Amino acid sequence: MEKIYEMAIIGAGPAGIAVAVESRTMGIEDILLLEKSHSHSATIREFYKNGKRVDKEWKGQKIDCEGNIVFTEGTKESTLNLFEKLLAAHEIDTVFNTEAESVKKLDSIFVITTSNNQKFKAENVVIAIGKMGKPNRPDYKIPPQLRSKIDFNLDRCRPKEDILVVGGGNSAAEYACALVESNRVTLSYRKERFTKLNEENLQQIENCVKKGALRLKLNSQIEKIQQIDEKVGVFFRDKTVEKFDRIVYAIGGTTPVEFLKRCSLELKGDSLEVDENFMTPITGLFAAGDIVCDTGGSIVAALNHGYKIASYVAGRKRGVK
């Protein structure tokens, strides 16, 4: 007979891993975790710089861990290690390189269809796909010949490059401060001061600027980019034009609207509507992590969503509401 999982989770980031681990801890047996990348926690792996300090209070969110997963601040590496160990210790059946394309409810069972046309059935499904699968792009055109010089993380940055980092959040600040070690760096932000930075990042930016290692371009709006002399020519609204070897955009991510439509879900604002147990308007279909956070979530928030969902599903199984 075709297997029907009690709990299928789409996305093995902090939220998905938390749902899986908490569910296992609470006695849910058949758990499936689907991940489109080759390993878990793709956002942390791809968008955190190596050695990054991982804050527990991200974006000023002071939240305590409610569930069984103990998360304290650490580094990119220690955070990945924590999730690696949790998946192994709880023997979570994780299927990598598998991208979910849609979720449909047929009678009372959900069918998840993947991009390679596999089908998985489950009684409960949790969508935990985050928002970084599609990093935000600028609203002006990126000329095709500049594509090799435009990035959304630090992977392709090389020492000695003259780099423009665009953004005003903690990710942009961390990218800029990491690059100053071996590059000429300019940080461009459209507002006149930073309002979203945590104290540590603000301090680091100030230190880098004081040392002359980082140039700030506040109140700077980019109108277009264009190739000039093999470089990226940046045209600012104040009519100045500058040339850089590379631009790194750190301007957040986009909710995957099309995927949600294929799950018969609609957005309210920039996030999904869920109840106090993180259930969507479709009974048995839950959402957790960044995808339910309007203004950007955090690891602790994602872990707590996972705990809430597992508690609810396990409680329902025991006949407790």
Ligand X SMILES: Cc1cc2nc3c(=O)[nH]c(=O)nc-3n(C[C@H](O)[C@H](O)[C@H](O)COP(=O)(O)OP(=O)(O)OC[C@H]3O[C@@H](n4cnc5c(N)ncnc54)[C@H](O)[C@@H]3O)c2cc1C
Residue number, 72 or 240, with CB nearest to ligand X: 72
Closer residue to ligand X (CB): 25 or 136: 136
Segment contacting ligand X by CB under 6 A, of 4-12, 89-97, 261-269, 274-282: 4-12
Residues 229-268 that bind ligand X (CB under 6 A): 259
The smaller minimum CB distance to ligand X, of residues 242 and 290, is found at: 290
- Helix, strand, coil shares of the chain, percent, nearest 5, are 30, 25, 45
Interface segment toward ligand X; rule CB under 6 A; list 54-62, 143-151, 217-225, 310-318 = 54-62
Report the DSSP pairing between strands 231-236 and 241-244: antiparallel
Among 9, 31, 32, 36, binds ligand X (CB under 6 A): 36
* 167 contacts ligand X (rule: CB under 6 A): no
For the record, the structure tokens of 201 come out as 């990042």
Q: Out of 7, 20, 33, 34, which residue is the one contacting ligand X (CB under 6 A)?
A: 34
Task: Select from 5, 48, 278, 307 the one that contacts ligand X (CB under 6 A).
Answer: 48
* 14 or 168: CB nearest ligand X: 14
Residue 173 touches ligand X, criterion: CB under 6 A: no
Binders of ligand X in range 58-77 (CB under 6 A): 58
Stretch that binds ligand X, among 40-48, 87-95, 179-187, 201-209 (CB under 6 A): 40-48
User: Which string of DSSP letters, residue by residue, matches 48-112?
Assistant: SPTT-EE-SSGGG------SS-----EEHHHHHHHHHHHHHHTT-EEE-S--EEEEEEETTEEEE
Contact between 41 and ligand X per CB under 6 A:
yes
Q: Which stretch binds ligand X (CB under 6 A): 209-217, 238-246, 277-285, 291-299?
A: 291-299
Angle of CA points 257, 20, 103, to nearest 5°: 35
- Which amino acid is present at 99? E
Copy the structure tokens of residue 105: 């409810």
**Is residue 244 a contact partner of residue 183, using CB atoms and an 8 Å limit?**
no
Told to check if 47 binds ligand X by CB under 6 A, we report yes
DSSP state of 162: E
What is the smallest separation between the CB atom of 1 and ligand X, expressed in angstroms? 25
How far, in Å, CA of 199 to CA of 89, rounded? 35
Q: 95 burial class (0-12, 13-18, 19+ CB within 10 angstroms)?
A: middle
| 42 vs 82 by CB, closer to ligand X | 42
| Residue 22 in contact with ligand X, rule: CB under 6 A | no
> What sign does the CA torsion over 158, 160, 165, 170 have?
positive
